[in-house]
Amino acid sequence: MAEINLFLIFLGSIGFDLLIGDPRFLIHPVQIIGFYIKKICDYLINKFGEDKKILFWGGFIVAISTIGISFSLGKLIELTYLQSTNHLFGGLLIFFGLSSCIATKGLISSVKEIAKLIEHKEINPQNTKIIKEKVQRIVSRDVRSSSVEHLLRSSTESLTENSVDGIFGPLFWIFIGIVFMKFSILLPGPLSLGFSYKAISTLDSMIGYKYDYFKYLGFFSAKIEDIFTFVPSRLVLITLPLVGSKFNEYVLIIRKSYLDGKKYDSPNAGISEAIFAYISGVKLGGKSKYKNEIIEKPIINATGENCTVEKIKLICQLILRLQFLWIIIFVLIFFIISNLI
């Protein structure tokens, strides 16, 4: 019975995220995780910036401690909920905790806001500055000298890559946690796995880079994120065509997306960008500025169209459709497992 309640809370948290997003009156777990990561990493860089070995093993400690604390907090809340006679408070903690792990509304709203500004505002220096500031919040590249076309591409690439990190990755691991709880309450549950994945994603986004100190400090964080995003990214690869308009080209699109995605250094980012690019018909990749260096990313879907406001809207629709499909699949799997056990 407890796992059924957890599954219903999970479904409710998805709906809450879609409708409300992150409530402003609550401190988001990412803020706490980010504060912890930044303080320790700043100390390591300022104190041992020239010692690669200390940065390397310091990064390992940062990654393990961040994930461990996040997992433990989630597990504590799960056990409190399952072993308490008053399920209301624990249920609310799990409800808001799970909702905070999913970023559908936040991700889509931020990109749609950029698209709306480009679509309805006159492109002049003042408006372009505002648009660049909003794009800079969701990308790691330097967009200060970017054209409108590049701003659209940057937003599209961020949307397609972060859809896995912010939406489908958490959904996958939370559901795995619910399945685990059917076997034992001592196994990792939905909130402990949800918080852990959020910590992994935050670590990667903050220190998982390949330049300066982060090559050593963020090495473990990047590798751990690669491992835990591997399966969700490939599930997106094989399920996204089911909600697109090119179902008759299913095998061909998956093959092309996989081959283009493999060109990226990341084993996951390229895959997720590529499948969205082929389904929506856009071309991604090309030159981008990181710090003071121009990086040439591999071209994905070379025959696709340039990114436009309409393409961004289409990708947002695809994300919502795919999330709905995953929910249906989760419900079916959950009830099949429930009837077998």
- For residue 84, pLDDT over 80 is answered with no
How many domains does the chain contain in total?
Answer: 1
* 300: nearest Cα among 322, 320, 274: 274
Out of 219-228, 248-257, 291-300, least confident range: 291-300
Instruction: Calculate what percentage of the chain has a pLDDT beyond 70.
Output: 98
Q: Say how many residues make up the chain.
A: 341
Asked whether 275 and 237 are in contact (CB, 8 A), the reply is yes
Per-residue model confidence as pLDDT tens digits over 94-147: 999 999 999 999 999 999 999 988 887 667 777 888 889 999 988 888 888 888
- pLDDT value, residue 230: 96
Per-residue model confidence as pLDDT tens digits over 159-181: 999 999 999 999 999 999 999 99
The torsion of the CA quartet 183, 186, 191, 196, rounded to 10 degrees, works out to -110
- pLDDT value, residue 100: 93
Asked whether 222 and 63 are in contact (CB, 8 A), the reply is no
Residues 6+ apart with CB under 8 A from 150: 143, 288
Tokens standing for residue 150: 């590049």
- For residue 278, pLDDT over 80 is answered with yes
Domain residues for 109? 2-340
